[in-house]
Amino acid sequence: MTLKDSVKQMWIAYHSSLGLAAPGEPIADLFCDNEKDANELADLVNKGIKRATTSALWFFEKTGSKIPKSGEIFVVTDWAGNAVCIVKTIKVSIIPFNEITEEHAYIEGEGDRSLAYWRRVHIIFYNNQFEKIGLNFNESMPIAFEEFERVFP
């Protein structure tokens, strides 16, 4: 993925605000798998409402992707790849899907922030994601619950 200038500029501005030189290429990512939701979630992160995200541990294992770690910093983008804000991961917990609580759903900040809403949209999301990589959704599957804070701007 080619990074847009806005991502590079925000990465440099953030590190400059700390009195540091920007280390290497920025890490940038978006939330969700469609334009409407990706743009809405980026806005919720920027407003400080969405302070967590969840990813299926099985997805990381199947695709060879790395599991997020505390202290990692990345640029949140909209669907088009434009920089929205920078977040820092503060905690990653591995939790079975069926043990996600109302508090987790509230921190994730989506929809009406209820557990019922969270479960509904995430079951759909994981079923769609898994269909593409040959996995099957399971209520007890492990989830990486990543908490973060917006650090810039």
Tens digits of residue pLDDT in 58-115: 999 999 999 999 999 999 999 999 999 999 999 999 999 999 999 999 999 999 999 9
Torsion of CA 123, 128, 134, 139, to 10 degrees: 0
pLDDT (tens digit per residue) in 30-47: 998 889 999 999 999 999
The torsion angles phi and psi of 136, rounded to 5 degrees, stand at: -120, 135
Q: Write down the residue that tokens 């969405």 correspond to.
A: 50
Helix, strand or coil, per DSSP, at residue 112: coil
Does the pLDDT of residue 25 top 60, yes or no? yes
Q: Is the pLDDT of residue 28 over 60?
A: yes
What are the structural domain ranges in the chain? 5-13+28-152
Q: pTM for this structure?
A: 0.91
**How distant, in Å, are the alpha carbons of 28, 58, 88, 124, 153 from that of 72?**
11, 21, 6, 28, 17
Q: Percentage helix, strand, coil, to 5, in the chain?
A: 40, 25, 35
pLDDT reported for residue 12: 95
Six token digits for residue 8: 């590079």
**pLDDT tens track for 129-151:** 999 999 999 999 999 999 999 99
In this predicted structure, the answer to whether residue 2 has a pLDDT above a threshold of 80 is no
CATH architecture of the domain formed by 5-13+28-152: Roll (3.10)
Confidence of residue 1 (pLDDT cuts 50, 70, 90): low
Residue position matching structure tokens 């009195």: 19
Q: Which of 90, 91, 75 is nearest to 29 (CA)?
A: 75
